[in-house]
């Protein structure tokens, strides 16, 4: 199934104009879900680049917007989160024109460092704009600044341990560690949007991903989680050139479709 890709400038975001790459699957149409997707890159990557995960979600029928969220204000907390939340607010107000329509679900998503931003935006949305966010998709989110889990030991094997350590040091260099900066340390997570969570058995971020999913469940948040088997090529998503995409692509498309379907079937309060 062909996915259309176009670059655009979101000019009326509160924090200033933001460049974005938009993916639209051939199945998109009236009422297609809108996914605000934050790319990875250990908190430091900037610019617009192709994204296999965003393309897979678009292939499931979504409109996926991947913004260059680190460029407008810099990549030290809280600036990326401010841009991310401003993008979410803008898209919530504008979904009736330009991207999607009044029947479109609005979700935030992200991989690795972008999963951190998505989780932070979901927390801030819960606190300030809860009714506008329909779901969050956390794809191996980078959540633990202490890097203290057992699975993180596998990061050396894929050349990411030092990069993630450097990324955390840079992202938090503004001082302190606000719960929005490290959602796994947030003491109050009840009431956030339902979550779809992805990781894999051989993923260095598996333990912090599943640990956060468990905390969400304990707080009464609806969670769907998918743990891919080792050997599916999942850890290669961190290299920017994912291998064995067929090993996880169909699972992602299926789980996203089920997650959105569940949201649409929920009765209106």
**Structural domain boundaries in the chain:** 3-265
Is residue 258 left, alpha or beta, with left meaning phi > 0 and alpha meaning psi from -120 to 50? Answer: alpha
> Which pLDDT belongs to residue 27?
65
Q: What angle do CA 231, 233, 238 make, to 5 degrees?
A: 135
Kindly report, residue by residue over 181-222, the tens digit of the pLDDT: 999 888 899 999 999 999 999 999 999 999 999 999 999 999
Q: How far is CA 6 from CA 19, 24, 91, 140, 237, in A?
A: 11, 9, 17, 26, 22
> Which pLDDT belongs to residue 37?
98
> Which pLDDT belongs to residue 228?
96
Residues of the chain with pLDDT under 70: 1, 26-29, 94-97, 266-269
CATH architecture classification, 3-265: 3-Layer(aba) Sandwich (3.40)
Q: How far is the C-alpha of 250 from the C-alpha of 138, rounded, in Å?
A: 17
Q: How far is the C-alpha of 18 from the C-alpha of 211, rounded, in Å?
A: 33
Complete DSSP assignment for 24-64: EETT--TT--EEEEE--STTT--S----HHHHHHHHTT-EE
Predicted TM-score (pTM) of the model is 0.95
> Which pLDDT belongs to residue 29?
62
């Amino acid at each position: 199934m062909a996915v259309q890709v176009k670059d655009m400038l979101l000019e009326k975001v509160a924090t200033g104009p933001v460049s974005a790459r938009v993916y639209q699957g051939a199945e998109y149409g009236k009422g297609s879900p809108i996914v605000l997707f934050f790319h990875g890159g250990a908190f430091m990557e900037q610019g617009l680049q192709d994204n296999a995960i965003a393309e897979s979600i678009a292939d499931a029928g979504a409109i996926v917007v991947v913004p260059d969220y680190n460029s407008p204000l810099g990549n030290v907390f809280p600036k990326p989160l401010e841009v991310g939340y401003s993008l979410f607010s803008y898209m919530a107000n504008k979904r009736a024109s330009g991207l999607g329509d009044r029947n479109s679900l609005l979700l935030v998503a992200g991989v690795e460092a972008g999963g951190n931003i998505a989780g932070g935006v979901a927390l801030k949305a819960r606190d300030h704009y809860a009714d506008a966010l329909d779901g969050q998709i956390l794809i191996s989110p980078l959540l633990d600044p202490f890097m203290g889990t057992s699975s993180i030991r596998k990061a050396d094997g894929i050349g990411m341990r030092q990069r993630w350590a450097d990324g955390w040091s840079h992202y938090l260099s503004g001082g302190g560690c606000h719960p929005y900066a490290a959602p796994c340390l947030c003491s109050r997570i009840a009431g956030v949007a339902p979550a779809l969570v992805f990781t894999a058995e051989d993923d260095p971020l598996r333990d912090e991903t599943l640990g956060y999913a468990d905390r969400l469940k304990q707080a009464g948040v609806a969670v769907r989680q998918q743990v891919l088997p080792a050997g599916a090529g999942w850890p290669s998503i961190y290299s920017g050139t994912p291998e064995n995409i067929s090993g996880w692509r169909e699972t992602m498309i299926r789980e996203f479709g089920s997650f959105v379907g569940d949201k649409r079937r929920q009765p209106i309060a």
